[in-house]
């Protein structure tokens, strides 16, 4: 799931194309570049801008197809996500979508996040 990461200090102020590689408990994200630019991997901190509005629809399609090969392990379901969530999550504002993901994680639908280090 290649995403366009907007230019910001974490990306050396350049737009980047990358995939989400790892997610951490502190909210930081490790991305792997797919645009040939250096660095090949870079972190976004919790205050940085991650394109959740691109990521979540792609994630949902993969969940619906049960195609988990392109999904970061932190978002690979460990049990079946309820249909009402799959059908309604994208109808919610982005802030609520993120809360739904957090609730699913707290309820054991995804593996726990690891500490960065």
16 within 8 A of 5, measured Cβ to Cβ:
yes
**pLDDT for 94 beyond 90:** yes
Residue 117: pLDDT band by 50, 70, 90 thresholds? confident
- Residues 16 and 31 sit within 8 Å (Cβ to Cβ): yes
pLDDT digits (tens, 9 = 90+) for 65-91: 999 998 999 999 999 999 999 999 999
Domain positions in the chain: 3-44, 52-106
- What is the rounded distance in angstroms from the CA atom of residue 95 to the CA atom of residue 12? 27
Region 91-107: mean pLDDT is 96
**Which pLDDT score, from 0 to 100, does residue 2 have?**
96
Q: How far apart are CA 80 and CA 63, in angstroms?
A: 9
Report the C-alpha gap between 13 and 28 in whole angstroms.
18
What is the average pLDDT across 32-49?
Answer: 96
């Amino acid at each position: 799931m290649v995403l366009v990461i907007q230019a910001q200090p974490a990306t050396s102020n350049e737009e980047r194309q990358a995939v989400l590689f790892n997610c951490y408990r502190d909210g930081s994200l490790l991305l792997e570049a797919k645009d040939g630019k250096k660095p090949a991997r870079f972190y976004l901190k919790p205050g940085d801008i991650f394109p959740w509005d691109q990521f979540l629809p792609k994630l949902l399609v993969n969940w619906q197809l049960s195609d988990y090969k392109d999904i970061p392990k932190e978002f690979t379901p460990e049990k079946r996500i309820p249909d009402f969530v799959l059908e309604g999550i994208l109808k919610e504002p982005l802030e609520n979508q993120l809360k739904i993901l957090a609730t699913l994680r707290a309820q054991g639908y995804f593996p726990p996040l690891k500490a960065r280090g």
